[in-house]
Homo-oligomer: A and B are copies of this chain.
Amino acid sequence: MQSIMTMGEILVEIMAGRKGQSFRAPGPLAGPYASGAPAIFIDQVARLGHPAAIIGCVGDDDFGWLNIDRLRRDGVDTSAIAVCQNAVTGSAFVTYRDSGERDFIFNITNSASAQLQPEQVNQAVLKDCAHFHVMGSSLFSFRIIDAMKKAIEIVKAQGGTVSFDPNVRKEMLRIPEMREALAYILEFTDIFLPSGHEVTQLARSADEAGAIAEIFARGVREIVVKRGADGCSYFSADERIDLDALPVDVADPTGAGDCFGATFIACRRLGKTALQSLRYANAAGALAVSSKGPMEGTSGFAGLDALLAQQPQHLRHAVMEG
């Protein structure tokens, strides 16, 4: 029992060739690129040499096999990826506005990713799972939420830990059952990995400090807040660490948060300290944004060490409390 596992959408991404390019007219595109937040996460875990596996569903088409081939090549156990005959692998079209914001067209809820069955989740599949990661983006159907709850229960029952990245669209939070599901998952979460604006989403408190106190009170043990260009913060009961983002040229932010989270989780599992883990996660996020393509910026320790060696310590402050 030593593997990190996750579950959810496995997609291809098609990228517009130019900034400001509209999908209302033909233009140069590039792809298909391996994608899907849980797939990017687990690829990054495997790149760090940690045992890694994903539960998911793709179509029996080139887009599905592209992902399976890629994940396998990077060391991910793909045996729990079902290849559906009656559905097409999901796809996401992304274009960047001049402002840097992204516009998407998604084929996800109508894709093989939505065919994920609670039957795919059982003790046999999860027997090696020491840590299970939940991506909020994956929770787009009640059947998948049920599958996710089942996975969490099995992993917790066998003594494993859980992390949760609540990258949920705002509209989803308006659905009461979705808020309940997120609250349920948070109850079982050991490591919580929100982006800056997400810290208060699942809390009553409107400010970050209050929300963090609430989340600790629910049993979460570590919180890592991803702030993009503004760096990141680590919180535990007795420690706070803030790091600046590493100065890199941003080619494509898609997948950076997933690589960051995967690196933090894998490093903690590999016995590194919170500070070491956060520095590696910060570097993984920086390398991810430097590469075009959502899964093209995953990196091994050699690449992370090389980047960190070039940089001064971007530690703003580390406070030991208590």
Contact = CB atoms under 8 A, between A and B. Distances in A.
Interface of A: 14, 22-33, 61-63, 65-66, 69, 87-89, 91, 93, 103, 105-107, 110-111, 293
A44 B222 CA distance: 62
Most B CB within 10 A of own CB, among A29, A33, A61, A293: A29
A29 B29 contact: yes
Given A28-B30, A31-B26, A91 B66 contact: no
Given A26-B33, A91-B107, A107-B111, 18 more contacts: A14-B29, A22-B62, A23-B61, A23-B66, A24-B65, A24-B66, A26-B31, A27-B30, A27-B31, A28-B28, A29-B29, A29-B30, A61-B105, A62-B103, A62-B105, A63-B105, A88-B110, A107-B110
Count the copies.
2
Contacts of A103: 62
A13 to B, nearest CB: 9
Given A29-B14, A29-B29, A105-B88, A24 B110 contact: no
A61 B27 CA distance: 17
A293 B26 CA distance: 9
Contacts of A61: 23, 105
B62 A24 contact: yes
Contact of A110 (B31, B62, B87): B87
A87 B32 CA distance: 22
A5 to B, nearest CB: 25
Contacts of A63: 23, 105
Contacts of A62: 22-24, 103, 105
Contacts of A93: 32
A31 B14 CA distance: 10
Most B CB within 10 A of own CB, among A27, A62, A66, A69: A62
Nearest to A109: B88
